[in-house]
């Protein structure tokens, strides 16, 4: 495809394939792959026995099924220094990842679509540890509105925009049926949402500047089926 007018207009400008963004703190760039691995480390290391403090890259390599050089490179990127013959400090790894990714400061989010999946996400414990704070629940099913999950009341999507604007919420977790996803995404963006965590199995079209992370769970089935082909 030549760079025709049409192709230049839509998308492409931001968050294309390897979504690279400059960190505020340093000049360093974290690529998508590094980001994913760092989170993987974080999630698992934060659940380690608190007595274990020094961890070597070969140990992490086995644990996470990556190369040990990879681990060292990843940690080097976020400025974690190791000690020869000892490894890295677990607490420092966690701290630096938190800092670098901005997990510390509380991230307010709304959940849009409170079906089974949405409900599970609202109640998911690990989110709070990571700084994600769910501030509002929305659904357009009259039978659900007024109900509550994890201490939060489910509200009508009618008041969603003003709710988000008033509280300056930047993150939306979208767990609604496919056929309303795009419409809701549009509303969310209008209300000032800057990141959509999309659990509905569609692609959303959003203006550049809005970050979308697709969490298409079914993707896993593909990989599993493929790896099971010989059986």
- Rank residues 148 and 158 by Cβ distance to its own copies and give the closer one: 148
Closest CA to 149 of 168, 175, 130: 175
User: Within 85-114, which residues bind DNA (CB under 7 A)?
Assistant: 85-88
| Own/partner pairs, 153-157, CB within 8 angstroms, 24+ separation | 154/114, 157/112, 157/184, 157/187
Q: How far apart are CA 42 and CA 219, in angstroms?
A: 23
User: Within 197-216, which residues bind DNA (CB under 7 A)?
Assistant: none
User: How far apart, in Å, are the Cα atoms of 6 and each of 3, 11, 16, 40, 143?
Assistant: 8, 10, 16, 38, 44
Q: Which does 143 bind (CB under 5 to 8 A by kind): its own copies, DNA, none?
A: none
68 binds DNA (CB under 7 A): yes
User: Within 5-24, which residues bind DNA (CB under 7 A)?
Assistant: 6, 16-18, 20
Tokens found for residue 120: 């599970």
- Rank residues 4 and 218 by Cβ distance to DNA and give the closer one: 4
- Rank residues 25 and 32 by Cβ distance to DNA and give the closer one: 32
Closest CA to 140 of 198, 167, 107, 179: 179
In angstroms, what is the minimal distance from the CB of 161 to its own copies?
19
Q: Which residues pair with 21 in a beta bridge?
A: 30
59 binds DNA (CB under 7 A): yes
Angle between helices 32-45 and 68-77 (to 10 degrees): 100
53 binds DNA (CB under 7 A): no
User: Within 158-187, which residues bind DNA (CB under 7 A)?
Assistant: none
Tell which one of 63, 70, 156, 182 touches DNA (CB under 7 A).
70
Tell which one of 8, 32, 128, 216 touches DNA (CB under 7 A).
32
User: Within 122-141, which residues bind DNA (CB under 7 A)?
Assistant: none
67 binds DNA (CB under 7 A): yes
In angstroms, what is the minimal distance from the CB of 42 to its own copies?
7
Q: How far apart are CA 146 and CA 154, in angstroms?
A: 5
């Amino acid at each position: 495809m030549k760079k025709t007018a049409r192709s230049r207009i839509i998308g492409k400008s931001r968050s294309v394939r390897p979504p690279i963004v400059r960190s505020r703190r340093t000049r360093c760039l974290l690529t998508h792959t590094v980001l994913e691995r760092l989170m993987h480390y974080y999630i698992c290391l934060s659940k380690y026995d608190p007595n274990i403090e020094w961890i070597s890259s070969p140990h992490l390599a086995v644990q996470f099924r990556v190369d040990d050089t990879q681990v060292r490179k990843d940690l080097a990127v976020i400025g974690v220094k190791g000690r020869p013959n000892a490894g890295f400090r677990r607490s420092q790894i966690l701290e630096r990842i938190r800092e670098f990714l901005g997990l510390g400061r509380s991230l307010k989010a709304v959940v849009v679509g409170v079906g089974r999946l949405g409900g599970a996400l609202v109640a998911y414990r690990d989110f709070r540890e990571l700084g994600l704070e769910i501030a509002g629940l929305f659904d357009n099913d009259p039978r659900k509105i007024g109900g509550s999950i994890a201490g939060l009341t489910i509200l009508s999507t009618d008041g969603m925009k003003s709710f988000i604007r008033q509280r300056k919420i930047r993150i939306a977790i979208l767990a609604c049926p496919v056929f309303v996803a795009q419409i809701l995404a549009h509303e969310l963006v209008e209300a000032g949402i800057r990141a959509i965590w999309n659990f509905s199995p569609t692609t959303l079209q959003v203006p550049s500047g809005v970050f979308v992370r697709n969490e298409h769970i079914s993707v896993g089935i593909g990989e599993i089926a493929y790896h099971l082909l010989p059986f």
